[in-house]
């Protein structure tokens, strides 16, 4: 039976690589993004935009939550509340809204895979990235909660925590933050989007069957727990 996936943030970087990798696996993929270039327009912050997407494309078997922003690069005491809220609205509430909208039909059909893009920042708490780090820590906790809630439904919910990946997201990241990240990474390099997509491909398949609410590292050896 052919599977269908929706990939948020699918117009760029890791999301685009996931779409390509899943298509190579034989999955029918719909990319959804606020930016041009995706199959469907989506603003993950907006509940009506998310339910509108569901109404247009119908149930899917696989949900990849890759839409995200790095948010403000500044000491916490200098972060504007609006920038903090915007980071949470996209990274955390966006993931909440897509899970809430797409998971019920997966449960009804008795099979589903949800993969949320978190970050090593969620575990480490990157200096100068408090909003990003906290918003992604919330994505990890959401993944653990939902994984447990759906554990007997056939729907598995897992997260990936990459270290810095060479994607358009990092075009605007403070060079000091990127240097720090590379210095902390034993492999001494950034990840590539297709390396994350490889893990997403496995987490989206029937090959994964006894893992849910789990966090998978893709960090060049940086993660220590």
Ligand X SMILES: NC(=O)c1ccc[n+]([C@@H]2O[C@H](COP(=O)([O-])OP(=O)(O)OC[C@H]3O[C@@H](n4cnc5c(N)ncnc54)[C@H](O)[C@@H]3O)[C@@H](O)[C@H]2O)c1
Question: Which residues sit opposite 158 in a β-bridge?
Answer: 115
Q: What secondary structure letter does DSSP report for 66?
A: -
Q: Is 200 in the site for ligand X (CB under 6 A)?
A: no
Q: Which of residues 1-20 bind ligand X (CB under 6 A)?
A: 8-9, 11-15
Place of tokens 């554990």: 151
Question: Shortest approach of ligand X to residue 75 CB, angstroms?
Answer: 20
Least Å distance, CB 14 to ligand X, is: 4
Residues carrying an active site annotation: 132
- CA distances, 115 to each of 15, 67, 127, 216 (Å): 11, 12, 26, 10
Instruction: Determine if 33 is a binding residue for ligand X (CB under 6 A).
Output: yes
Of 24, 146, 144, 12, the closest CA to residue 66 belongs to: 12
124 binds ligand X (CB under 6 A): no
Residue among 215, 224, 22, 204 at smallest CA distance from 106: 204
Least distance in Å: CB of 17 to ligand X? 8
Of 73, 119, 126, 201, the residue at the interface with ligand X (CB under 6 A) is 119
- DSSP H helix total and E strand total for the chain: 8, 7
- Residue 214 exposed, middle or buried by CB count within 10 Å (0-12, 13-18, 19+): middle
What DSSP character marks residue 158?
E
Minimum separation from the CB atom of position 197 to ligand X (A)? 10
Stretch that binds ligand X, among 52-60, 63-71, 145-153, 202-210 (CB under 6 A): 63-71
Stretch of residues binding ligand X (CB under 6 A), selected from 40-48, 56-64, 102-110, 141-149: 40-48
Q: Does 168 bind ligand X (CB under 6 A)?
A: yes
136 and 119 Cβ atoms separated by less than 8 Å: yes
Asked if 68 interacts with ligand X (CB under 6 A), we say yes
Determine if 45 is a binding residue for ligand X (CB under 6 A): yes
Q: 74, 126 in Cβ contact below 8 A? A: no
Locate 171 and state its tokens: 């075009």
Query: For ligand X, which residue of 19, 22, 30, 44 counts as binding (CB under 6 A)?
Result: 44
Q: Which of residues 74-103 bind ligand X (CB under 6 A)?
A: 90
- Chain residues binding ligand X by CB under 6 A are 8-9, 11-15, 33-35, 42-45, 66-69, 90, 117, 119, 162, 164-165, 167-170
């Amino acid at each position: 039976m052919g599977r269908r996936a929706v990939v948020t943030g699918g117009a760029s970087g890791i999301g685009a690589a996931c779409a390509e990798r899943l298509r190579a696996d034989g999955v029918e993929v719909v990319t959804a993004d606020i930016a041009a270039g995706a199959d469907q327009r989506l603003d993950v912050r907006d509940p009506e935009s998310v339910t509108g997407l569901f109404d247009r494309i119908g149930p899917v078997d696989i949900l990849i939550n890759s839409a995200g922003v790095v948010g403000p690069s500044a000491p916490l005491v200098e972060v504007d509340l609006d920038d903090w809220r915007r980071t949470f609205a996209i990274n955390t509430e966006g993931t909440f809204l897509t899970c809430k909208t797409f998971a019920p039909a997966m449960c009804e059909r008795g099979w589903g895979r949800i993969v949320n893009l978190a970050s090593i920042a969620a575990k480490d708490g990157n200096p100068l990235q408090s909003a990003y780090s906290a918003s992604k820590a919330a994505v990890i906790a959401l993944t653990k909660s939902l994984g447990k809630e759906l554990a007997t439904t056939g729907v598995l919910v897992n997260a990936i925590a990459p270290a810095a990946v060479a994607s358009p997201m990092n075009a605007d990241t403070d060079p000091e933050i990127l240097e720090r990240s590379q210095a902390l990474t034993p492999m001494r390099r950034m990840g590539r989007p297709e390396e994350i997509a490889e893990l997403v491909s496995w987490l989206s398949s029937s090959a994964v069957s006894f893992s849910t609410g789990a966090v998978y590292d893709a960090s060049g050896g940086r993660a220590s727990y």
